[in-house]
Amino acid sequence: MSELAGELARVREAFDKPTLRLLDRKWAPFVLFVFKSSFSRDRRSVRADLLHIQVDAYLADLRSVGSDVPGKTGRALCVQWMNDQWLYRETGEGDEEHYSLTSHALEALLLVESLSRDRALISESRLTTIVDTVRHRATQANPDREERIRRLDRAIAENAAERDRLAAGGEIAPVSNEQMREGYADLVDLIGQLPSDFKRVEESVAAMHRQIVNDFRGEERPISEVLDEYLAKTDALMTSTPEGRAFEGAFTLLRNDDLLRELGDDLETILLHPFALELSATDRRSFMGTVRLIRKGIDDVLTQRNGLTTTLREHIVNHDVVKDRELERLLREINKELATWMQTAGPRSTVTAELMPGTLDAPHLRERFYDPGAHRAPPELQDVSDDAPPPPSLDEMRTQGGPLLGELRDAIVTAFNHGDAASVGDAFNDLDVTLRRPVEILGMLQIATQIDAVSRSQTLERFETVRPDGSTRSFEVPRIMLSDDETAALSALNYGSDND
């Protein structure tokens, strides 16, 4: 009878967990509908005010078609679901509150999803997975060296025989669509369990840190002892819980980038099989997102661990033991005075106490005293005019300025009137070095733009420029040709239309 009572107690304990409490409620279908509609693999969290609006919209739509729904508002329902440990609310960037599903809600969704499938999960693929896993673990568990060598030799012989057969031109037996569908269903079932597994690890890390904070705040021991114990618990954080140990083992495997890259290639190969044509675009996208799901789960757990560790470190650094002791001493004195007063006070006696102390009526206090140095004159400036360099000449300043538009326009007009230039570039390269600065190219382009001669350019030509310090630099500039009318137009800009 004791075994029966113990089994009954274990079943009751299971029904007390948030997952089964969710499935046992009257409004369980509505709650799971909201969770499935509002959250997805790519949408892990929803802004709090947005989820309240979404739930209100769901309630209004379902009431309009006559469905029986809860009579509360969206905000009240979200708060209730958070208290039931189905939703988790946290503050993100910009002090915005977000909701996310807990591991209990994810497990309930996974269970309902598995029950709503038309096909059973028992299949050749599932049994093959079990047999391969058992064989692999048995090989690892067997300490007999000879037996392990025998198993490896057998596997090597089987693989070598298959390789030789294929290398000799042997036929590759095609896998049927039915077999691929069974294997795909098996993989989808295993992949669907990953979000709740990662979430359970996050919750385990958060619970461990909350416990550490509570222990730290309630300790009366020296701060050094508390700090040592905190560091020891942090070091053993991922090995002291079943979830942490499982994640630590998986993390060692999944942080291998080559392994994840091969996993992505294998997923793509599976979807290239003809059976994948029967899958919807959503199923294909979800299946190919497995690697991203794994990376996101790992990042979320590590972020949770690093964020909470940072919070605890700041708490330890900013913890003021002196102020805590002063407050404790003050409360102790208040209790002593209260006990003395209760010896003579009646049952309905009251005492008037101000919640906040009053302000002091004090005259203005001088904030700064007179400083004679503040009124002292600054020291005289030294005369360093004899050390000043000679001022630059007008010609030197002009070499550092902008383009000489007038001289440049005159030189180009002269070159084209005498027929010495085949293009503007030829005319530019024959100019005096004072008119071949790099900045003069901008002036030349401005001049050519005034008569719309740049737009028809199709090729480039080289301009050889000379800087004021004598160094040279080459530039590729559009090749510009000037007709007689355009040359006359340039001349008119400098000298007027009556001048040739």
**Which pLDDT belongs to residue 495?**
55
How far is the C-alpha of 58 from the C-alpha of 52, rounded, in Å?
10
How far is the C-alpha of 462 from the C-alpha of 471, rounded, in Å?
16
Q: Is residue 149 part of a domain?
A: no
Look at residues 318, 348, 370 and tell me which one is the last residue of a structural domain: 318
Look at residues 66, 87, 115 and tell me which one is the last residue of a structural domain: 115
> What residue numbers bound the domain in which 482 lies?
400-495
- Give me the residues of the chain with pLDDT under 70, please: 1-2, 92-94, 116-127, 129, 137, 208-209, 211-227, 229-231, 233-254, 308, 311-312, 315-324, 357, 494-500
Neighbours of 290 (CB within 10 A): 20
CATH number at residue 104: 1.10.10.10
Q: Is residue 415 part of a domain?
A: yes
Beta-strand runs (E) in 234-349: none
Q: Is residue 153 part of a domain?
A: no
Q: Is residue 500 part of a domain?
A: no
Q: Is residue 340 part of a domain?
A: no
Q: Is-contact 99 78, C-beta < 8 A?
A: yes
> Strand pairing of 45-47 and 97-101?
antiparallel
pLDDT in tens, 117-139: 655 455 556 667 677 777 776 77
Provide the number of structural domains found in the chain. 3
Three-state secondary-structure class, residue 462: strand
**Which pLDDT belongs to residue 499?**
44
Statement to judge: residues 13 and 108 lie in one domain: yes
Q: Is residue 296 part of a domain?
A: yes
Answering whether pTM is above 0.85, one says: no
pLDDT in tens, 239-253: 665 656 656 666 666
CA distances from 128 to 125, 139, 183 (A): 5, 16, 10
Q: Is residue 354 part of a domain?
A: no
Look at residues 286, 302, 318 and tell me which one is the last residue of a structural domain: 318
Q: Is residue 110 part of a domain?
A: yes
To the nearest 10 degrees (0 to 180), the angle between helices 124-141 and 145-167 is 140
Phi, psi of 183 (to 5 degrees): -65, -40
**Which pLDDT belongs to residue 500?**
42
Q: Which residues contact 276 (CB under 8 A, 6 or more apart)?
A: 180, 270, 284
